[in-house]
A = this chain, B = another copy of it.
Amino acid sequence: MTWPQASGPMRFLLDAEQRAFAQSLDAMLGAAGTAAAVRDWSRGERGSGRALWSRIADAGVFALAVPEKYEGLGPRPVELAVAFVELGRHAVPGPLVETVAAAALLRDPGPAERFLAALASGRSTATVAREGSYALDGDAATLRLALAADGLRLAPGHGPVRPSLDPARRLTRLLPGGELLTPAPAVDRALLWARLATAAQALGVGLALLERTVAHVGRRVQFGAPIGSFQAVKHRLADVKIALEFARPLVLGAAVTMTAADVAAAKASAGEAAYASARAALQLHGAIGYTAEYDLSLWLTKARALRTAWGTPDECRAEVLRAHA
């Protein structure tokens, strides 16, 4: 059948520039070999992670969350989502999502003038904690933002570092008090940006786990054949592929509409798909996948952490239902 061309402006494909942006990030991160930086970061050694951060900032990733008038390139959520898929695929450590959330919070002229350019350029990194929540990498971030009852505060420090199930994530509480930056921060907007970025990152993590597992089962021989030729293995990976490929348009679509329901749907779906990818990856790698020294672990543990970060699947489902009422 000969379908005529689309008749309107609705477009649902990344354009050439967006695809090139993703490819250049992928190439840059691939060449950088992120695994060593992740392991350094897990030990509290920041050098390699900070260098990686600078290159990501130079590529313009954080600037996408910062308006042009504050030396940013944004707000451009679609490009941000595209970038965070790549950050997830390469298991980049650090308060990436939180820096984006900070950029969405700091939009009053005063704080914006003061902080945004540095966030866009990568000169500073930020963490953000809602009340009662952990601040990711509070020991590493240069800017610690606390959403307190009376507004957004610049926290004066952080409490002890607690380990996450993902060794590359370090959980801290922010100390109370500190300078009040704005009494009415745009919490909803920040949550939206944080959720979108987390969803995209989770999608990238899930894709990386699938890629690695496909490669592994093609190589690994048991009972005289590559285990990737066993039908049960094939079907499990096919199901992961399906889950990821249906999460992907939700993530990109949410970046276009930026509605609470679409972003929540994307987060729930990408979080579940990435976690399913992790479960399959662990099972099909067998014991080697269960070891910290094998690089697969960097993505496995992140998939679990991102599933709950910035909204558990059930919180996101509740948001979808709320928006639908």
Distance in Å from the Cβ of A120 to the closest Cβ of chain B? 50
Q: How large is the interface on A (under 10, 10 to 19, 20 to 34, 35 or more residues)?
A: under 10
Distance in Å from the Cβ of A40 to the closest Cβ of chain B? 41
A235, CB-defined interface residue at 8 Å = yes
In the assembled complex, which residues on chain B have CB atoms less than 8 Å from the CB atom of A230?
231
In the assembled complex, which residues on chain B have CB atoms less than 8 Å from the CB atom of A13?
none
In the assembled complex, which residues on chain B have CB atoms less than 8 Å from the CB atom of A234?
232
Interface string of A216-235 (1 = CB under 8 A from B): 00000000000000111011
In the assembled complex, which residues on chain B have CB atoms less than 8 Å from the CB atom of A235?
232
By beta carbon, the residue of chain B nearest A231 is B231
Interface string of A229-273 (1 = CB under 8 A from B): 011101100000000000000000000000000000000000000
Distance in Å from the Cβ of A223 to the closest Cβ of chain B? 11
By beta carbon, the residue of chain B nearest A238 is B232
By beta carbon, the residue of chain B nearest A229 is B231
CA distance A234 to B232 in the complex (A): 9
Distance in Å from the Cβ of A227 to the closest Cβ of chain B? 11
In the assembled complex, which residues on chain B have CB atoms less than 8 Å from the CB atom of A231?
230-232
By beta carbon, the residue of chain B nearest A234 is B232
Which residues of A are in contact with B by a Cβ distance under 8 Å? 230-232, 234-235
Q: What are 6 A-B pairs at a CB distance below 8 A?
A: A230-B231, A231-B231, A231-B232, A232-B232, A232-B234, A232-B235
Nearest 5 Cβ contacts at the A-B interface: A231-B231, A231-B232, A232-B235, A230-B231, A232-B232
